[in-house]
């Protein structure tokens, strides 16, 4: 059984800050299909469309019938642990600093035999295990052997914590605490065991509903932060940037209507100022500090979360300029992910469907409750995924978009949802 992680001691400021060493990341293009599934929390393997063979490692052709009709399909991961070993020596800098490292050979019920990293709660071979896939600090997919039955403290395993971004005992910045989503995220992070949660508010003179309740939590500190003001962002980064482990950007400016329903560009500019330029200012100010602390002990800086929208994938004309601003933020977030990857900082993009809030009140259900969205963000941090699609609408849109983006565009233009 994994031992629940105790709160680590405060860092000695005299000691040097360690530099980040990433695990080996060289992968062929075919193998990246495994990482694509892991980015959304799925364990996918290649399945031959001709003979049905399931294969691992990934190949260009089926190992049984040599067909190139190979499709990535979700797997249960159930299997039998055949043998175990422990890595006590490695020439790789990443593993050398983390030895000993347990490994095992598993025969999957689906067919292939796979080498896996072993969770600390897995018993001696032979025994039943469940193979899952996680993204490592380099952003590549690795296979992990889990015990067949999960325990409450399973996520506190040293190896899993290294690969995930569990907020427990970490310091988090939530950029906007005035919204229902921001306040729900703060409560979820506190419940998850975050050590400190800084909560930004752009208009401290306003008596906003819910903020006094948030401020009363012992882990919470309200801080002035206006993402439209570069000076405000830089001043806060100078004050707490060197302490933040996780940034959760919940700030957004959301208005309805499309192009012809409103005159002028003021609203569209305001949406871009927060949703796009606000993210850019935040990344420029806090990004270097997070990268500098990416190897700073067991509570190293670990993740960046962006609240986007499913409307970023395909424009929803009823909220056209808002969709456009989120599409721009998605592109910028992909740039941020590439910039953060060499330091092992995970960038998580959250694509909810319509949220149950003021600017979606005229949309029909189903809508995502702020508390459900907050729980999805905490789960994404623990699981170490990159893309999350909370809510029924987001899941449906994602499938339609993957099936045929042009058809989805036409359906939305015709007034569909």
Number of structural domains (the chain) is 2
- Looking at 99, 130, 163, the residue that finishes a domain is 163
* Residue 253 lies in domain: 171-413
pLDDT at position 15 is: 63
Three-state DSSP class for 46?
A: strand
- Looking at 134, 163, 192, the residue that finishes a domain is 163
Using the predicted structure, report yes or no on whether residue 240 has a pLDDT greater than 90. Answer: yes
- What is the distance between the alpha carbons of residues 329 and 183, in angstroms, rounded to a whole number? 22
Give the chain's mean pLDDT: 91
Q: What is the CATH number of the domain that holds 386?
A: 3.40.50.720
Confidence of residue 300 (pLDDT cuts 50, 70, 90): confident
Same domain, 88 and 215: no
Same domain, 262 and 325: yes
Query: Is the Cβ–Cβ distance between 54 and 107 less than 8 Å?
Result: no
What is the average pLDDT across 19-44?
89
CA Rg, the chain, in Å? 22
How far, in whole angstroms, is CA 10 from its chain's centroid? 27
Confidence of residue 86 (pLDDT cuts 50, 70, 90): very high
- Looking at 105, 137, 163, the residue that finishes a domain is 163
pLDDT at position 12 is: 61
Using the predicted structure, report yes or no on whether residue 313 has a pLDDT greater than 70. Answer: yes
Using the predicted structure, report yes or no on whether residue 1 has a pLDDT greater than 60. Answer: no
Q: How many CB atoms lie within 10 A of CB 182?
A: 27
Quick check: is 15 in a domain? no
Using the predicted structure, report yes or no on whether residue 205 has a pLDDT greater than 80. Answer: no
Same domain, 67 and 132: yes
Using the predicted structure, report yes or no on whether residue 3 has a pLDDT greater than 60. Answer: no
- What is the distance between the alpha carbons of residues 179 and 176, in angstroms, rounded to a whole number? 7
What is the average pLDDT across 63-72?
94
pLDDT tens sequence across 155-164: 778 888 888 8
Same domain, 152 and 198: no
pLDDT tens sequence across 243-258: 999 999 999 999 888 8
Using the predicted structure, report yes or no on whether residue 7 has a pLDDT greater than 80. Answer: no
pLDDT at position 294 is: 86
What is the average pLDDT across 148-174?
86
Quick check: is 26 in a domain? no
Supply the pTM of this predicted model: 0.92
Same domain, 192 and 74: no
Quick check: is 6 in a domain? no
Query: Is the Cβ–Cβ distance between 162 and 137 less than 8 Å?
Result: yes
What is the average pLDDT across 194-222?
90
Q: What percent of the chain has pLDDT over 90?
A: 73
Query: Is the Cβ–Cβ distance between 103 and 7 less than 8 Å?
Result: no
Same domain, 153 and 214: no
185-203 burial code (b ≥16 CB/10 A, e <16):
bbbbbbebbbbbbbbbbbe
Using the predicted structure, report yes or no on whether residue 358 has a pLDDT greater than 90. Answer: no
Same domain, 181 and 156: no
Least confident range from 157-166, 188-197, 211-220, 382-391: namely: 157-166
């Amino acid at each position: 059984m994994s031992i629940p992680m105790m709160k680590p001691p405060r860092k000695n400021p005299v000691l040097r800050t360690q530099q980040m060493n990433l695990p080996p990341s060289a992968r062929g293009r075919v193998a990246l299909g495994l990482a694509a599934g892991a980015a959304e929390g799925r364990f996918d393997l290649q399945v031959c469309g001709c003979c049905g063979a399931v294969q691992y490692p990934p190949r260009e052709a089926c190992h049984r019938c040599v067909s190139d009709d190979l499709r990535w399909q979700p797997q249960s991961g159930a299997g039998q642990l055949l043998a175990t070993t422990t890595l006590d020596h490695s020439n790789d800098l990443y593993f050398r600093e983390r030895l000993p490292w347990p490994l095992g050979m598993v025969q999957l019920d689906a067919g292939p035999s796979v080498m896996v990293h072993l969770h600390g709660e897995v018993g001696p071979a032979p025994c039943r295990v469940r193979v899952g896939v996680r993204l490592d600090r380099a952003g590549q997919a690795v296979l992990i052997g889990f015990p067949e039955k999960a325990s409450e403290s399973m996520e506190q395993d040293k190896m899993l914590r290294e690969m995930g971004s569990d907020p427990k005992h970490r310091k988090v910045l939530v950029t906007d605490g005035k919204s229902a989503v921001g306040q729900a995220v703060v409560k979820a992070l506190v419940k998850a065991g975050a050590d400190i949660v800084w909560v930004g508010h752009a208009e401290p003179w306003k008596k906003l509903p819910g903020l006094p309740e948030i401020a009363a939590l012992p882990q919470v500190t309200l801080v002035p932060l206006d993402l439209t003001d570069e000076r405000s962002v830089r001043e806060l980064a100078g004050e707490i940037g060197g302490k933040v482990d996780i940034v959760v950007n919940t700030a957004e400016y959301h208005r309805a209507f499309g192009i012809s329903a409103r005159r002028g560009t003021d609203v569209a500019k305001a949406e871009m100022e927060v949703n796009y330029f606000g993210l850019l200012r935040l990344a420029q100010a806090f990004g270097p500090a997070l990268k500098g602390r990416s190897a700073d002990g067991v509570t190293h800086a670990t993740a960046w979360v962006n609240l986007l929208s499913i409307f970023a994938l395909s424009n929803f004309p009823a909220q056209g300029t808002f969709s456009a601003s989120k599409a721009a933020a998605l592109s910028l977030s992909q740039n941020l992910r590439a910039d953060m990857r060499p330091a092992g900082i995970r960038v998580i993009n959250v694509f909810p469907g319509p949220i149950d809030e003021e600017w979606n009140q005229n949309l029909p259900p189903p809508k995502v409750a702020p508390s459900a969205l907050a729980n999805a963000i905490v789960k994404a941090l623990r699981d170490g995924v990159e893309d999350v699609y909370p809510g029924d609408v987001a899941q449906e849109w994602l499938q339609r978009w993957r099936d045929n983006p042009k058809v989805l565009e036409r359906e939305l233009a015709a007034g569909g949802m």
